Chain A
């Protein structure tokens, strides 16, 4: 479960690198894949590096910001309706705004299909793999 103090990687290009969970919005026990959390940005990109020739590291989100994020990958397995379980290699989030729209423009790495049920369609469409 993703609880308070859990550090998560950021899987988009919003500027944040690592984020620490402050509160898991979905359940008292903690969040899992597909849940929204409130987090504080622990580590952010400086904005000086260039990822590609025409793309600079964005600084939409700075260190110390309190943001909302949705968990897209989690180390703890999540059960599915058909009885199978799925787990990922790391804990990762995509930073979103109040409406649920992702703040960044790209999403990195595979993403759980559980997001579809939670209506995070934009993230799914941006992701490399589901």
Chain B
């Protein structure tokens, strides 16, 4: 029993799943599900299809190269069964997948760093441009307390309105 990789999306194909297509030049394509198979039949290039692993790695969305990946090589020579070897292999597999997950998480963190502040800044700009959608411009003029915050991150329009009502 062997766990193959889908040709299109690179996910593992477990036994009992998927389709194998043999081209006349004897090249074998394995697909994990009919979605990938159908995309292949449409002659789509997986490097351009956004949800495939290949695309993500190519466009820097996911960890492209790592030593943990190389440990998952395809080995064709069958090993003589040795209980200790099997035990060690299973332990190693666990450790490897743990480290891989950690590294991928770190990569994601690095990729997303600074995005939150940038998002906040963008939101603020949008607010300043589009405050008329939230509150009419004439209302803003009438009640000068309803000013937009300059550097503050939170927009306290409703709170100031409440305080105004309480004062009067």
Which residues of B have CB within 8 Å of A90?
24
Q: Verify if A88 is at the interface (C-beta below 8 Å from B).
A: yes
Minimal Cβ-Cβ distance residue in A for B24: A89
Give the residue of B1, B22, B24, B26 whose beta carbon is less than 8 angstroms from that of A86.
B22
Minimal Cβ-Cβ distance residue in A for B14: A83
Q: Are A129 and B20 in contact (CB under 8 A)?
A: no
Q: What CA separation (Å) do A85 and B13 show in the bound complex?
A: 12
Q: Are A89 and B19 in contact (CB under 8 A)?
A: no
Which residues of B have CB within 8 Å of A89?
21-24
Q: What CA separation (Å) do A109 and B24 show in the bound complex?
A: 6
Interface string of A68-102 (1 = CB under 8 A from B): 00000100010000111111111000000000000
Interface string of A103-114 (1 = CB under 8 A from B): 000000110100
Q: Verify if B144 is at the interface (C-beta below 8 Å from A).
A: no
Q: Are B20 and A128 in contact (CB under 8 A)?
A: no
Q: What CA separation (Å) do A89 and B27 show in the bound complex?
A: 11
Size bracket of the A interface: 10 to 19
Minimal Cβ-Cβ distance residue in A for B30: A84
Q: Are B26 and A128 in contact (CB under 8 A)?
A: yes
Minimal Cβ-Cβ distance residue in B for A11: B24
Which residues of B have CB within 8 Å of A109?
24, 26
Give the residue of A73, A85, A110 whose beta carbon is less than 8 angstroms from that of B19.
A85
Q: Are A84 and B15 in contact (CB under 8 A)?
A: yes
Minimal Cβ-Cβ distance residue in B for A87: B21
Which residues of A have CB within 8 Å of B15?
82-84
Q: Verify if B130 is at the interface (C-beta below 8 Å from A).
A: no
Q: What CA separation (Å) do A83 and B32 show in the bound complex?
A: 12
Which residues of A have CB within 8 Å of B19?
77, 84-87
Q: How far, in Å, is A103 (CB) from chain B's closest CB?
A: 22
Q: Are B26 and A84 in contact (CB under 8 A)?
A: no
With A109-B26, A129-B26 known as contacts, the answer to whether A86 contacts B20 (CB < 8 A) is yes
**Known contacts A85-B20, A87-B19, A89-B23, then 12 further A-B pairs from the complex at CB < 8 Å, ordered by chain A residue:** A82-B16, A83-B17, A84-B16, A84-B20, A86-B19, A86-B22, A87-B20, A87-B21, A87-B22, A89-B22, A110-B26, A128-B26
Closest 7 CB pairs of A and B: A83-B16, A129-B26, A110-B26, A86-B20, A85-B19, A89-B24, A88-B22
* Cβ contacts A to B, 5 pairs, < 8 Å: A82-B16, A84-B19, A87-B22, A88-B23, A110-B26
